[in-house]
């Protein structure tokens, strides 16, 4: 392989080894190769400026500077001893890494990590790509080259090095104000997945509808995304049957397709990572298990809007599309309704010819943070509980048993029997999602039965988290459709 990428002890700081072609004329290497490098995990950081630093004599030393942009550093001529210190807020503050760089090595440096180097040869030329334009008014953290805490082992003693007066005046680590990260932005924070995300991201910004109306394209276009490195869109219109109506269809197309397209475009211009949630409804449900590469084949208007949103999101340079099924979270949902019916002595009829797995909102949120924080390759990941596929009736029977009722108190009906005489959108027969790609990143979802037992226990003792904010379709699941002893299963099939 002509390119390889290695992680370092500083989160996000990546070392790139490159093939160098040599002959009698000299050498050639690919300093930045988007397709190869991003496929291996280097962020597609969108460089906008190329800087070159000439170092006349061996020993010239520069840094340590933590600029507010990402950079990819290379050496065009000579060699340097590169050293980096994490100056970002967090557990890794003060962590160091160093390596000698020549034409065969490059290093990706995320914003907030202090960058420095020492020329090891005369006429060394140091080059770097950055994704923000330099401005003379920028203020950012810097660190003394001889800071005793960082304890960088410079090959050439600093007393024998050429150092600028400005760098000699840099503070020690104890005096540095850490580089503050940009807070995540969560859209649809009042929904099931949105609320679960905010429990994991207490510093996130989650604008209310009066602050940002996601149904208004102009409002989204005018919103300032520049203060966020991560934008999570947990907003959606999830009323499957209403999406078949003219009014509901317009709202579904706006929130499920147009909004993701807007965000994907802004992700490119404002250089943030975009997380979007998808649904098993983008498939026709014929395959017993759906992997991430299965062609989209929606059979309902709701599914078509979600499929359009999925396609739109893929144009974002840095995106995670997390596809879910049968979502359960705070507020009205299938499991909570079954538990209530069990307590009230009702014996419901529940559809028994649709198969899938539940996806609890807390599990979806945890999987989201796992792929983002681990730096998993961008793309699509399926997210649900693990374990055997079950029908809605089987899940209902499990809930009844956990509530002390007989499993036989739940009567099985077919989808056709339930839908007789009703205006209903078609549902996928099979909604089970393959989890192989997600587990390959190191995330192991909790088993469906185990998660179900834990959730029902919270309902019994009153610990189930109540919904926060208003239950609007912009960012929240609709309670299950139907009432009385017969319940339709399909209103909580998709993430917020």
Question: In this structure, what token pair is assigned to residue 448?
Answer: 């469906």
Catalytic residue, candidates 21, 50, 54, 65 = 65
* Distance (Å, whole) CA 278 – CA 303: 9
Catalytic residue, candidates 126, 128, 223, 455 = 128
* Distance (Å, whole) CA 223 – CA 209: 13
Residue 329 has phi, psi (to 5 degrees) of: -150, -160
Tally of CA atoms within 13 A in the half-sphere of 78 that contains its CB: 22
**In the annotation, is 77 catalytic?**
no
* Distance (Å, whole) CA 468 – CA 191: 8
Residues 6 or more apart in contact with residue 160 via CB below 8 angstroms: 59
Q: Please, are residues 66 and 87 in contact by the beta-carbon 8 Å criterion?
A: yes
| Sheet (strand 105-109) strand order | 3-7, 14-18, 105-109, 71-77, 124-130, 49-55
HEC readout, 168-183 = HCCCCHHHCCCECCCC
**In the annotation, is 117 catalytic?**
no
* Distance (Å, whole) CA 154 – CA 146: 9
Question: In this structure, what token pair is assigned to residue 87?
Answer: 């100056």
Q: Please, are residues 476 and 192 in contact by the beta-carbon 8 Å criterion?
A: yes
Q: What is the CA radius of gyration of the chain?
A: 27
Residue 34 has phi, psi (to 5 degrees) of: -55, -50
Which residues are marked as active site? 65, 128
């Amino acid at each position: 392989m002509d390119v390889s990428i290695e992680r370092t002890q500083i989160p996000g700081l990546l070392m790139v080894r490159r093939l160098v072609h040599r002959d009698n004329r000299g050498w050639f290497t690919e300093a930045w190769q988007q397709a190869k490098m991003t496929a291996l995990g280097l962020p597609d950081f969108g460089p906008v400026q190329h800087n070159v630093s000439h170092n006349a004599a061996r020993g010239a030393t520069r840094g340590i500077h933590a600029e507010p942009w990402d950079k990819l550093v290379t050496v065009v001529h000579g060699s340097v001893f590169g050293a980096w210190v994490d100056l970002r807020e967090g557990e890794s503050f003060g962590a160091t890494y160093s390596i000698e760089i020549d034409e065969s090595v490059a290093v990706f440096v995320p914003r907030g990590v202090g960058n420095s180097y020492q020329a090891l040869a005369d006429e060394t030329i140091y080059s770097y790509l950055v994704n923000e334009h330099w401005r003379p008014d920028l203020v950012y953290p810097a660190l003394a080259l001889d800071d005793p805490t960082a304890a960088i082992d410079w090959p050439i003693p600093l007393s024998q090095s050429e150092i600028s007066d400005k760098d000699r005046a840099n503070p020690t680590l104890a005096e540095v104000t850490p580089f503050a990260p940009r807070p995540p932005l969560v859209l649809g924070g009042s929904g099931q997945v949105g609320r679960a995300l905010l429990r994991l991201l207490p510093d996130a910004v989650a604008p209310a509808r009066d602050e940002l109306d996601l149904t208004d394209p102009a409002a989204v276009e005018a919103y300032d995304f520049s203060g966020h490195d991560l934008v999570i869109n947990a907003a959606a219109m999830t009323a499957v049957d209403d999406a078949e109506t003219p009014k509901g269809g317009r709202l579904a197309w706006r929130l499920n397709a147009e909004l993701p397209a807007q965000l994907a475009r802004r992700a490119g211009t404002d250089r943030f990572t975009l997380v979007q949630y998808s649904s098993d409804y983008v498939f026709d449900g014929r395959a017993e298990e759906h992997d991430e590469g299965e062609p989209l084949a929606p059979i309902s208007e709701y599914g078509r809007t979600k499929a359009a949103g999925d396609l739109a999101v893929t144009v974002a340079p840095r995106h995670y599309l997390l596809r879910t099924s049968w979502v359960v979270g705070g507020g009205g949902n299938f499991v909570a309704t079954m538990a209530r019916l069990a307590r009230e002595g009702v014996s419901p009829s529940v559809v028994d010819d649709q198969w899938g797995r539940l996806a609890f909102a807390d599990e979806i949120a945890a999987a989201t943070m796992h792929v983002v924080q681990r730096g998993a390759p961008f793309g699509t990941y399926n997210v649900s509980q693990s374990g055997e596929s079950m029908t809605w009736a089987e899940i209902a029977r499990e809930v009844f048993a956990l509530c002390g009722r007989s499993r036989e108190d739940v009567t099985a009906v077919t989808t056709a029997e339930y839908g007789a005489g009703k205006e209903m959108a078609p549902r996928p027969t099979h909604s089970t999602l393959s989890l192989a790609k997600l587990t390959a990143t190191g995330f192991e979802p909790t088993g469906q039965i185990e998660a179900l037992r834990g959730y029902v226990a919270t309902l019994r003792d009153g610990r189930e988290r109540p919904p926060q904010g208003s239950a609007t379709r912009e960012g929240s699941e609709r309670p299950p459709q139907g009432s009385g002893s017969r319940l339709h299963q399909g209103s909580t099939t998709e993430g917020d």
